């Protein structure tokens, strides 16, 4: 693993955005895997700046997001679809028809998962951006005895619902399920960019990157991937 620790948050953001832009420029039809949460917001801001300065166009890019909550209606401010519009898509020139997220309102969630995997099989991800949950989850692959390879409906741990409750009015409003790419789908990306910030993640960063490879820490499976770049701020990297 290639681990980089940054003194300034904005340096991490620019570095990540540079890598993403480089991928976009290198490929004819680049495919990006995208993530949500608070961590990538600065990275998306930096991508928008690069687009506005004329450095890059996203016209030929296709994106697949990692996950989406189940049961939040389209347009709800806490859907990841809304987040992506708000933080990235509406500010750049990517055609809407080339941006994909799982549909958490699908009447048949299982066939929605299969549909997503079929699309991913046809358009393998060149670069997958990832954040890290406090319990080691990636996407919404929560710690467990077993993990699922493909896209699936995942029950959310209480700790994850609590961590994400800050974005909702009440804990009861936080969905109990999400559709997420599986760890197998995530590991198929040619390059993985894991970005983590904050002292509250320092212990799980150490566990994920240097601990045993175990389904109890889904991010530890990243140790098996040949091309992972880890971007940390000093707080997140202080236990390494």
* Catalytic positions: 67, 135, 137, 142
Measure the CA–CA gap between 18 and 126, rounded to whole angstroms.
15
Q: Which residues contact 86 (CB under 8 A, 6 or more apart)?
A: none
The single residue among 12, 33, 36, 221 that binds ligand GLP, judged by CB under 6 A, is 36
Residue found by looking up tokens 């804990």 in the block: 171
Q: How far is CA 126 from CA 119, 191, 230, 238, in A?
A: 14, 6, 16, 30
Contact status: 171 vs ligand GLP (CB under 6 A): no
Pick 56 or 231: Cβ nearer ligand GLP: 231
Contact status: 99 vs ligand GLP (CB under 6 A): no
The single residue among 13, 16, 39, 232 that binds ligand GLP, judged by CB under 6 A, is 39
Q: Which residues contact 115 (CB under 8 A, 6 or more apart)?
A: none
Enumerate the β-bridge partners of residue 63. 32, 99
Residue nearest to ligand GLP (CB): 131
Contact status: 35 vs ligand GLP (CB under 6 A): yes
Pick 30 or 102: Cβ nearer ligand GLP: 102
* Contacting residues toward ligand GLP, per CB under 6 A: 35-39, 66-67, 131-133, 139-140, 160, 164
């Amino acid at each position: 693993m290639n681990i980089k620790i940054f003194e300034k948050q904005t340096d991490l953001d620019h570095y990540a955005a540079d890598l993403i832009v480089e991928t976009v420029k290198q490929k004819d039809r680049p495919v990006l895997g995208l993530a949500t949460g608070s961590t990538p917001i600065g990275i998306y801001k930096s991508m928008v700046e690069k687009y506005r300065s004329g450095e890059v166009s996203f016209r030929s890019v296709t994106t697949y997001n990692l996950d989406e909550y189940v049961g939040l209606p389209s347009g709800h401010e806490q859907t990841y679809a809304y987040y992506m519009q708000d933080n990235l898509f509406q500010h750049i020139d990517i055609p809407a028809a080339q941006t994909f997220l799982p549909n958490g309102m699908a009447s048949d969630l299982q066939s929605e998962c299969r549909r997503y995997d079929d699309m991913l099989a046809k358009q393998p991800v060149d670069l997958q951006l990832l954040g890290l949950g406090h319990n080691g989850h990636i996407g919404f692959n929560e710690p467990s005895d077993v993990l699922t390879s493909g896209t699936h409906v995942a029950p959310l741990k209480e700790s994850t619902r609590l961590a994400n409750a800050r974005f909702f009015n009440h804990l009861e409003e936080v969905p109990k399920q999400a559709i997420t790419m599986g760890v197998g789908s995530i590991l198929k990306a040619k390059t993985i960019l894991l970005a983590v910030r904050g002292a509250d993640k320092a212990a799980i960063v150490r566990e994920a990157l240097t601990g045993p490879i175990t389904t109890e820490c889904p991010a530890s499976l990243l140790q098996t991937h040949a091309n992972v770049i880890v971007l940390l701020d000093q707080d997140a990297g202080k236990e390494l």
